[in-house]
Amino acid sequence: MARMKFLCDADRCINCNACVTACKNENEVPWGINRRRVVTINDGKPGERSVSMACMHCTDAPCAAVCPVRCIFPTAEGVVLHDKDLCIGCGYCFYACPFGAPQYPQIGNFGSRGKMDKCTFCAGGGGSEETGSAAEYAKYGADRLAQGKLPMCAEMCSTKSLLAGDGDIIAQIYRERVLTRGYGSGAWGWMTAYHESIPS
């Protein structure tokens, strides 16, 4: 079975934020929740690089390990999903996540958090709702993976810097790119998320 991964080619990303807009639109993400964001390092200086970051769907995800109610779990394809009905909004998954993927709506008393929301690889949610149903969409957003489609962010990337899909295939694509153009700043986040790097 294919193991789904994300790879943002930092040498191609132009900080256009099409991925951010695509995600927000496709999943009707509410105001204030940033499932995906583009971070620019060394802005304006030589060596500036932009990286698009959402949930990396890690191997042995730290968010799943620390969750006090065990509402986060990986699917067979390696996509890390969670069940919003079980989530208690404690915020531990954000402390554990190396990439800052979990987001919380602020709902009330003190800094109290609502149910955690994060990138789902456009694979719907980990709850009891039927796959592809309107109820699932209202809670988690689109379920494109069930229809055999890839996440909207990668589909909409204007430079095809954001790759999503079978980990082996996208590693191969990245390797070919680096060989052809002669340089590559590396697969950002892969060592932390998947405990592997792409030899280039």
Partner 1 sequence: MSGVAQSLGIRHAIRLLAFLGILVFAFPTIAQQATPNAPIDPDTSVVNEEALLREAPRIEGRIDQPDPRARVLMQPAGRKWDYFHEVILHRLGAIAILGMIALLALAYFVIGRIRMSAGRSGRKVVRFNGFERFSHWLTAVSFVLLALTGLNITFGKFLLLPVMRPESFSSLAQGAKYVHNFAGFSFMVGLALIIALWIKDNLPRKVDLDWLKQGGGFIKSKHAPAGRFNAGEKLVFWFALAAGLAVTVSGIFLLFPFYWTNIAGMQAAQMVHAVIAVLFVAVILAHIYIGTLGMEGAFEAMATGEVDMNWAKEHHDQWFEAMLRERSAVSSGQTPPTPAG
Partner 2 sequence: MYVEINPADAAERGIVDGGWVWVMGPESHSKARMKALVTERVGKGVSWMPFHFAGWFEGVDQRSKYPKGADPYVLGESVNVLTTYGYDPATGMQEPKATLCQIRRA
Q: Which residue ranges make up the site for partner 1 (CB under 8 A)? A: 11, 17, 20, 32, 34, 37-43, 46-47, 49, 51, 53, 62, 65-71, 83, 85-92, 94-100, 109-113, 181-186, 188-189, 191-192
Of 11 and 77, CB closest to partner 1: 11
Minimum Å gap between C-beta 31 and partner 2 is 8
DSSP code string of the chain? ---EEEEEBTTT-----HHHHHHHHHHTPPTT--SSEEEEESTTSTT-EEEEES----TT-HHHHH-TT--EEE-TTS-EEE-TTT-----HHHHH-TT---B--B-SSTT-B-S-B---TTB--SSSSPTT-HHHHHHH--B-GGGTPPPHHHHH-SSS-EEEEEHHHHHHHHHHHHHHHS----BTTHHHHHS-----
28 binds partner 2 (CB under 8 A): no
Binding-site partner at residue 92 among partner 1, partner 2, none, CB < 5 to 8 Å by type? partner 1
Nearer of residues 48 and 149 to partner 1, judged by Cβ: 48
44 in contact with partner 2 (CB under 8 A): yes
32 binds partner 2 (CB under 8 A): no
